[in-house]
Chain A
């Protein structure tokens, strides 16, 4: 085993990755969130990612019941929650067993030695105790009898049952980690005071255990030297830590306020999208109408009804739900109403891997409907910019009168990062196509000549009574028409309307080398992984590598081909079997698109990207 005491000086680190793991009832999500929030308050850049089992309460101590939370903090730009960790906190044997592989050799693992009982070891399928059999010799192991120390710390607090006592041991570990990374426990104590306002005992117990852990780490010589991470250099402004799904919900709130419309959400619970519903139901004070429908189809169709009646209407789902919504999305496209469909992608096909991340619904978003039915497809790429793209999705659908599919994924939806708060005042203007009065010769399918958006005549407006429907419409009157030429005309008009959105979206930007040998191409939620890997390559002297990341997919930005032409090799990296690359191939001929694909329900790891880039770069 590596000796625990090395030099006694405080070391300054650029970044550190910590993973807290334990049983799903051990409170690891709270522990991790507290650590990342405290670090953000301290001025670090942070990125987090939770990892919890699909089972709500899996059998205690089992391998599949392990819940984890990873935090990446730094004084430098942090764009992902990171891969391998510098510190692992394992509250039980199952947590150690399932996560040790992620700990960098030579680094520290803190374990609750009280949890390494014969029974727990058996449940974790250990044949011998890893704390005793030498299997951890490549790591620094800090064994702390956390359960007993927690009990000891609480022996004078009255009226606590055994369960509450054991459940607060996560705060002991948090206290230790706070001391190790030179963080004050103050923020968390404040959090207890707010959260348990009416339960003074719980406040007292948690505070005591947190402090006990903090002092334990301070006094115990076994603890290696403390680390500190200086504040990051971030753009000046007011920040908060935000989860991707919350940012998505807030983007819609901002768009509703800016556009002066009421927000309607029709939704049916589905992992990992449900948190958007959870967030929006809270905001009745802004007039948000969040409707939990009887199924996915009613989720989207109630939204179509609300859009017909003049609301900013959205529906939220994940892959299987998008499949169910397909027919209705076709109707929204056909009747040319504004509607945003958020698909928080998860591992597929079928039920797939509901709690894991993937980018495999892109082609479903593009083509998953009967007939010729193009819609706008855009994708957010970080937890914080889920806000911007939810806002942009609303803007595009209202201005162009055709549905928008907004793709996010489990990784950015559940991950959190600092968000520089954007006041609604600073957001771009949102126009709409509402028909205000009945002019002579008005028709329901009169179009804006620039965007081809049709007018939005809302029930309640006198003289604008009209009928829409899924049957093909006459190009002017909107009456049912079976005329062959009219049908073809309407098909191409609806497609052209989506194509013209290109005139209203920004160019794709190239980061690092602007031309050269290798262009790394990505889209959606992989931005952080790809950006940091290309950055690392550049830092290592590979100055011929550029990086283009796409948020606008249908239509693609105008300058796409121009960007592709500037590089000798193009590597399209996706968490699927190659979907975006197909879209590129259809649109741009003469390129030899190389692919890097991963479909494991996991984000890209830094080392696999670096290895791939190095194999292609000069």
Chain B
């Protein structure tokens, strides 16, 4: 029988290392949310592994009192895949940023999503390179002035969710960096989801890209600009809970309840578990409202399950149990 999981508090997951992010950085919120989420997950501390690449976000594992590796730029998803394939019982987390995952590590990022191993990816998206001090990233906006685009960025951005769902992500959540309670819950849900979970955090960089998300995330406007979706619930938002999404032709539209005969019944109901990602892609692309919460959570077979089933089958059919059986099989001959 498995030993029962201890009762942990967030302090059990904090390492003795001094946290060295800039004051006011959303990274602190993510770190604390993760430390609070872990005791809720029902996993043993020694089974938790954080793998990061390079960038501000990638210092994260040093601050967690779990197993961790601060690896090389862009490669965390591939390293994490190796960890998970070697020991499927571990709870494996990838910590990455927009440059780490979608520029230098773009290849590993799409392939890990395609394969659907049961691991979790937290993407700190601040739309800028922080550690190298302020160059545009693959999510920076066209026209954005940065150290490497003094006259304005000319490279159109990726949308993380759109790219991920295009790469067959089964689980995609977006969360704003200033909503720790929701973030903690999303982390717990991601761990419970069987398959690769991607959580994009709109993370404010107060030094090089301050206010990048303010128009969606500022407390004053949040309720009017953000739609927090929940599976099985109508897509309602607004301070007065009077706005919602309807489908008109092939487009989403914002409707106001009580206007033009619209009632709550007319609003779309969120189905995160739908295999068809069409509507999920529309939600990801929407800028008004900016959709947060778990947008997609489609249960599918994981890579480990496929591998396990195959291994069991091959083992059952095989005449080899030890390597000697193989070495001495087939065309062998004796010399006397």
Of the listed residues B46, B330, B334, B335, the one surrounded by the most CB atoms of chain A closer than 10 A to its CB is: B335
Chain A residues whose CB sits within 8 angstroms of the CB of B310 once the complex forms = 284
Chain A residues whose CB sits within 8 angstroms of the CB of B279 once the complex forms = none
Please pick, from A237, A253, A425, the residue contacting B335 in the complex, using a CB distance under 8 A. A237
Shortest distance from the beta carbon of B209 to any chain A beta carbon, whole Å: 25
- On whether the beta carbons of A240 and B326 are closer than 8 Å, the reply is no
- On whether the beta carbons of B327 and A421 are closer than 8 Å, the reply is yes
Please pick, from A257, A291, A425, A470, the residue contacting B70 in the complex, using a CB distance under 8 A. A470
Shortest distance from the beta carbon of A439 to any chain B beta carbon, whole Å: 15
Chain A residues whose CB sits within 8 angstroms of the CB of B315 once the complex forms = 284-285
Secondary structure call for the B interface: mixed
A295 to B72, CA, bound (A): 15
Secondary structure call for the A interface: mixed
In the complex, identify which listed stretch (A11-19, A459-467, A507-515) lies at the interface while the others stay far away: A459-467
**Given that A237-B334, A239-B334, A289-B85 are known contacts, is A471 also in contact with B65, CB under 8 Å in the complex?**
no
User: 1/0 per position for B44-62, CB-CB distance to A under 8 A?
Assistant: 1111010100100000011
A73 at interface (Cβ–Cβ under 8 A)? no
Please pick, from B71, B84, B311, B320, the residue contacting A331 in the complex, using a CB distance under 8 A. B71
Of the listed residues A37, A293, A467, the one surrounded by the most CB atoms of chain B closer than 10 A to its CB is: A467
A295 to B310, CA, bound (A): 23
- On whether the beta carbons of B79 and A283 are closer than 8 Å, the reply is no
A534 at interface (Cβ–Cβ under 8 A)? no
B321 at interface (Cβ–Cβ under 8 A)? yes
- On whether the beta carbons of B333 and A298 are closer than 8 Å, the reply is no
Please pick, from B46, B62, B108, B321, the residue contacting A469 in the complex, using a CB distance under 8 A. B62
A449 to B86, CA, bound (A): 29
The contact size tier of chain A is 35 or more
User: 1/0 per position for B313-336, CB-CB distance to A under 8 A?
Assistant: 011001011111011101111111
A194 to B195, CA, bound (A): 42
Those of A427-473 within 8 Å (CB) of chain B: 459-471
Closest to A477 in B: B16
- On whether the beta carbons of A424 and B324 are closer than 8 Å, the reply is yes
B260 at interface (Cβ–Cβ under 8 A)? no
**Given that A294-B111, A298-B111, A480-B62 are known contacts, is A305 also in contact with B334, CB under 8 Å in the complex?**
no
Chain B residues whose CB sits within 8 angstroms of the CB of A264 once the complex forms = 82, 85-86
Those of A295-333 within 8 Å (CB) of chain B: 295, 297-298, 301-311, 313, 327-328, 331
Chain B residues whose CB sits within 8 angstroms of the CB of A479 once the complex forms = 17, 62
**Given that A41-B331, A238-B333, A238-B334 are known contacts, is A465 also in contact with B79, CB under 8 Å in the complex?**
no
- On whether the beta carbons of B61 and A294 are closer than 8 Å, the reply is no
A40 at interface (Cβ–Cβ under 8 A)? yes
- On whether the beta carbons of A309 and B83 are closer than 8 Å, the reply is yes
- On whether the beta carbons of B333 and A305 are closer than 8 Å, the reply is no
- On whether the beta carbons of A240 and B335 are closer than 8 Å, the reply is no
A298-B78, A468-B70 given; 6 more Cβ-contact pairs under 8 Å: A240-B332, A285-B314, A293-B78, A302-B79, A460-B87, A461-B46
- 7 A-B contacts (beta carbon < 8 Å): A236-B336, A289-B307, A309-B82, A331-B71, A424-B324, A459-B67, A468-B70
**What 9 A-B pairs come out closest when comparing CB atoms?**
A305-B82, A469-B70, A302-B82, A285-B318, A309-B86, A298-B78, A305-B79, A306-B86, A306-B82
